Amino acid sequence: DTEVTQTPKHLVMGMTNKKSLKCEQHMGHRAMYWYKQKAKKPPELMFVYSYEKLSINESVPSRFSPECPNSSLLNLHLHALQPEDSALYLCASSQVTGYGYTFGSGTRLTVV
Residues in the site for other proteins, rule: CB under 8 A? Answer: 31, 35, 41-45, 48-51, 53-56, 88, 90, 92, 94, 96-98, 101-106, 108
Question: Which parts of the chain fold into alpha helices (H)?
Answer: none
Q: CA-to-CA distance for 77 and 26, rounded, in angstroms?
A: 21
Pick 5 or 82: Cβ nearer other proteins: 5
Q: Which is nearer to other proteins, 92 or 111 (CB)?
A: 92
> Which is nearest to 99 in space by CA: 13, 28, 9, 18?
28
Q: Please identify, using beta-carbon distances, which residue of 5 and 15 lies nearer to other proteins.
A: 5
